[in-house]
Amino acid sequence: MTAILKVDTIQDTSGNNIISESSDTITIGASGDTTNIIGTLQNNGSALSSGITEADQWRWNAHFTGDATPITANWERNDTNFDKIGTGMSESSGVFTFPSTGIYKIDSYTLLSLSGTSRYSEYIIKLSTDGGSNYNQSAYGYSSIFNDSATVYTHNYASTIIDVTNVSNFKVTISITHQNTSTLVRGNTDFNTNATTFIRLGDT
Protein backbone atom coordinates (compact mmCIF):
# COMPACT_ATOMS: atom_id res chain seq x y z
CA MET A 1 0.00 0.00 0.00
CA THR A 2 1.32 3.43 -0.98
CA ALA A 3 0.76 6.37 1.36
CA ILE A 4 0.72 9.99 0.23
CA LEU A 5 1.13 12.90 2.65
CA LYS A 6 -0.11 16.21 1.27
CA VAL A 7 0.99 19.31 3.20
CA ASP A 8 2.46 22.73 2.43
CA THR A 9 4.45 23.06 5.65
CA ILE A 10 6.15 20.73 8.13
CA GLN A 11 7.00 22.24 11.53
CA ASP A 12 8.95 21.13 14.59
CA THR A 13 7.35 20.80 18.03
CA SER A 14 7.99 24.50 18.71
CA GLY A 15 6.05 25.59 15.63
CA ASN A 16 9.12 26.49 13.53
CA ASN A 17 8.98 25.65 9.83
CA ILE A 18 11.24 22.75 8.88
CA ILE A 19 10.07 22.32 5.28
CA SER A 20 7.66 24.58 3.41
CA GLU A 21 6.50 24.91 -0.20
CA SER A 22 5.14 27.95 -1.99
CA SER A 23 4.79 28.59 -5.74
CA ASP A 24 6.95 25.54 -6.59
CA THR A 25 9.76 26.73 -4.29
CA ILE A 26 10.72 24.37 -1.45
CA THR A 27 12.39 25.97 1.57
CA ILE A 28 14.27 23.81 4.07
CA GLY A 29 14.91 25.36 7.48
CA ALA A 30 15.05 29.04 8.31
CA SER A 31 17.63 31.78 8.66
CA GLY A 32 20.22 30.79 11.26
CA ASP A 33 19.45 27.06 11.02
CA THR A 34 22.07 24.44 10.28
CA THR A 35 21.01 21.86 7.69
CA ASN A 36 22.89 18.59 7.97
CA ILE A 37 22.70 16.34 4.90
CA ILE A 38 23.48 12.67 5.59
CA GLY A 39 24.41 10.97 2.34
CA THR A 40 24.82 12.47 -1.13
CA LEU A 41 22.95 15.58 -2.24
CA GLN A 42 22.11 15.34 -5.93
CA ASN A 43 21.01 17.62 -8.75
CA ASN A 44 18.94 15.77 -11.33
CA GLY A 45 20.70 12.51 -10.49
CA SER A 46 24.26 13.88 -10.30
CA ALA A 47 26.07 14.45 -7.02
CA LEU A 48 26.61 18.08 -6.06
CA SER A 49 30.14 19.19 -5.30
CA SER A 50 31.41 22.29 -3.55
CA GLY A 51 34.66 24.17 -3.89
CA ILE A 52 37.31 23.64 -6.57
CA THR A 53 37.12 20.16 -8.08
CA GLU A 54 40.07 20.48 -10.51
CA ALA A 55 43.36 22.37 -10.06
CA ASP A 56 46.61 21.49 -11.78
CA GLN A 57 49.94 23.19 -12.53
CA TRP A 58 52.60 22.31 -15.11
CA ARG A 59 56.06 23.66 -15.96
CA TRP A 60 58.96 22.80 -18.24
CA ASN A 61 62.03 21.63 -16.38
CA ALA A 62 64.86 22.69 -18.74
CA HIS A 63 66.03 25.84 -20.53
CA PHE A 64 65.61 26.22 -24.27
CA THR A 65 66.32 28.87 -26.88
CA GLY A 66 64.42 30.03 -29.92
CA ASP A 67 60.80 29.72 -30.92
CA ALA A 68 58.50 26.90 -29.86
CA THR A 69 55.05 26.75 -31.45
CA PRO A 70 53.95 24.99 -29.39
CA ILE A 71 56.30 24.17 -26.52
CA THR A 72 56.40 20.36 -26.79
CA ALA A 73 59.26 19.15 -24.59
CA ASN A 74 60.21 18.83 -20.91
CA TRP A 75 56.77 19.39 -19.43
CA GLU A 76 56.22 18.12 -15.89
CA ARG A 77 53.53 18.51 -13.26
CA ASN A 78 54.56 20.71 -10.33
CA ASP A 79 55.61 18.10 -7.77
CA THR A 80 57.62 20.37 -5.46
CA ASN A 81 54.90 21.45 -3.05
CA PHE A 82 51.63 20.50 -4.76
CA ASP A 83 50.23 17.58 -6.70
CA LYS A 84 46.76 18.36 -8.04
CA ILE A 85 43.11 18.51 -7.10
CA GLY A 86 40.92 16.05 -8.97
CA THR A 87 42.05 14.08 -12.00
CA GLY A 88 44.29 16.78 -13.41
CA MET A 89 45.18 17.71 -16.98
CA SER A 90 46.66 15.26 -19.47
CA GLU A 91 49.68 16.38 -21.50
CA SER A 92 51.18 14.88 -24.66
CA SER A 93 53.88 16.70 -26.68
CA GLY A 94 52.67 20.02 -25.30
CA VAL A 95 48.98 19.41 -25.99
CA PHE A 96 46.80 19.62 -22.88
CA THR A 97 43.49 17.78 -22.56
CA PHE A 98 40.85 18.59 -19.94
CA PRO A 99 39.65 15.93 -17.47
CA SER A 100 36.02 17.12 -17.46
CA THR A 101 33.78 19.77 -18.93
CA GLY A 102 33.41 23.09 -17.13
CA ILE A 103 34.61 26.68 -16.94
CA TYR A 104 38.41 26.74 -16.64
CA LYS A 105 40.78 29.61 -15.81
CA ILE A 106 44.25 29.26 -17.33
CA ASP A 107 47.20 31.39 -16.18
CA SER A 108 50.61 30.98 -17.78
CA TYR A 109 53.94 32.80 -17.39
CA THR A 110 57.62 32.29 -18.08
CA LEU A 111 60.98 33.86 -17.20
CA LEU A 112 63.16 34.98 -20.13
CA SER A 113 66.73 36.13 -20.66
CA LEU A 114 66.75 38.65 -23.52
CA SER A 115 70.00 39.70 -25.17
CA GLY A 116 70.93 41.87 -28.15
CA THR A 117 69.19 45.06 -29.19
CA SER A 118 65.58 45.78 -30.20
CA ARG A 119 64.18 42.51 -28.96
CA TYR A 120 60.73 41.24 -28.06
CA SER A 121 58.98 38.01 -27.11
CA GLU A 122 55.40 36.86 -27.74
CA TYR A 123 53.63 34.35 -25.50
CA ILE A 124 50.36 32.74 -26.61
CA ILE A 125 47.78 30.37 -25.14
CA LYS A 126 46.15 28.64 -28.09
CA LEU A 127 42.82 26.80 -28.03
CA SER A 128 41.43 24.11 -30.30
CA THR A 129 37.74 23.23 -30.28
CA ASP A 130 37.96 20.56 -33.00
CA GLY A 131 40.20 17.97 -31.38
CA GLY A 132 43.50 19.63 -32.29
CA SER A 133 42.99 20.12 -36.03
CA ASN A 134 42.97 23.90 -35.75
CA TYR A 135 44.14 26.31 -33.05
CA ASN A 136 43.28 29.95 -32.40
CA GLN A 137 44.72 32.48 -29.97
CA SER A 138 42.91 32.55 -26.65
CA ALA A 139 45.37 34.78 -24.76
CA TYR A 140 48.41 36.83 -25.74
CA GLY A 141 51.37 38.12 -23.76
CA TYR A 142 54.17 40.39 -24.94
CA SER A 143 57.39 41.79 -23.55
CA SER A 144 60.03 43.97 -25.20
CA ILE A 145 63.21 45.89 -24.42
CA PHE A 146 64.89 48.24 -26.90
CA ASN A 147 68.34 49.78 -27.32
CA ASP A 148 70.07 47.85 -24.58
CA SER A 149 72.79 45.37 -25.46
CA ALA A 150 73.03 43.85 -21.98
CA THR A 151 71.26 40.65 -20.97
CA VAL A 152 67.96 41.49 -19.30
CA TYR A 153 65.49 39.27 -17.45
CA THR A 154 61.76 39.67 -17.97
CA HIS A 155 58.49 37.75 -17.76
CA ASN A 156 55.79 36.93 -20.25
CA TYR A 157 52.25 36.31 -18.98
CA ALA A 158 48.91 35.30 -20.51
CA SER A 159 45.56 34.45 -18.95
CA THR A 160 42.19 33.25 -20.23
CA ILE A 161 38.89 31.65 -19.17
CA ILE A 162 37.53 28.84 -21.35
CA ASP A 163 34.13 27.16 -21.40
CA VAL A 164 35.08 23.54 -22.06
CA THR A 165 31.92 21.88 -23.41
CA ASN A 166 33.57 18.74 -24.83
CA VAL A 167 36.72 17.11 -23.46
CA SER A 168 37.48 15.34 -26.74
CA ASN A 169 37.40 18.51 -28.83
CA PHE A 170 38.96 21.11 -26.51
CA LYS A 171 42.79 21.22 -26.43
CA VAL A 172 45.26 23.87 -25.25
CA THR A 173 48.89 24.60 -26.16
CA ILE A 174 51.46 27.23 -25.11
CA SER A 175 53.60 28.92 -27.78
CA ILE A 176 56.48 31.40 -27.60
CA THR A 177 58.29 33.32 -30.33
CA HIS A 178 61.13 35.87 -30.25
CA GLN A 179 62.71 38.52 -32.39
CA ASN A 180 66.12 37.30 -31.23
CA THR A 181 66.45 33.51 -31.53
CA SER A 182 69.17 33.48 -28.84
CA THR A 183 66.56 34.40 -26.20
CA LEU A 184 66.80 31.91 -23.34
CA VAL A 185 63.50 30.58 -22.00
CA ARG A 186 64.18 29.38 -18.47
CA GLY A 187 63.03 26.09 -16.96
CA ASN A 188 63.68 24.31 -13.67
CA THR A 189 62.61 21.05 -12.07
CA ASP A 190 62.98 22.20 -8.44
CA PHE A 191 60.91 25.39 -8.49
CA ASN A 192 58.80 27.42 -10.90
CA THR A 193 60.57 29.71 -13.34
CA ASN A 194 57.50 29.16 -15.48
CA ALA A 195 54.07 27.72 -14.73
CA THR A 196 50.78 27.04 -16.45
CA THR A 197 47.90 26.71 -13.98
CA PHE A 198 44.51 25.19 -14.77
CA ILE A 199 41.62 25.74 -12.34
CA ARG A 200 38.07 24.56 -12.91
CA LEU A 201 35.79 27.35 -11.67
CA GLY A 202 32.44 25.62 -12.14
CA ASP A 203 30.09 23.80 -14.48
CA THR A 204 29.72 24.66 -18.14
Least confident interval from 118-122, 125-129, 160-164: 118-122
Contact 178, 65 (CB under 8 A): no
Neighbours of 48 (CB within 10 A): 9
How many folded domains does the chain comprise? 1
Identify whether 148 is part of a domain.
yes
Instruction: Report the C-alpha gap between 27 and 13 in whole angstroms.
Output: 18
Number of Cβ within a 10 Å radius of residue 128: 17
The whole-model pTM stands at 0.80
183 is a domain residue? yes
pLDDT of residue 173: 98
Domain of 196 in residue numbering reads as 58-202
- Containing 199, the helix (H) or strand (E) segment is strand 194-202
- Write the DSSP assignment of 87-131 as a string of letters: S--EEETTEEE-SS-EEEEEEEEEEEEE-SSSEEEEEEEEEESST
18 within some domain: no
pLDDT at position 144:
83
| Structure confidence by residue, pLDDT tens digits, 6-49 | 888 888 888 888 888 888 888 888 887 888 888 777 777 777 66
* CATH number, domain containing residue 119: 2.60.120.40
* Tens digit of each residue's pLDDT (9 = 90 or more) over 50-91: 789 999 999 999 999 989 999 999 999 999 988 999 999 999
Q: What sign results for the dihedral spanned by CA atoms 161, 192, 85, 136?
A: positive
- Judge whether 164 and 105 are in contact, CB under 8 Å: no
Cβ 112 vs Cβ 156: under 8 Å: yes
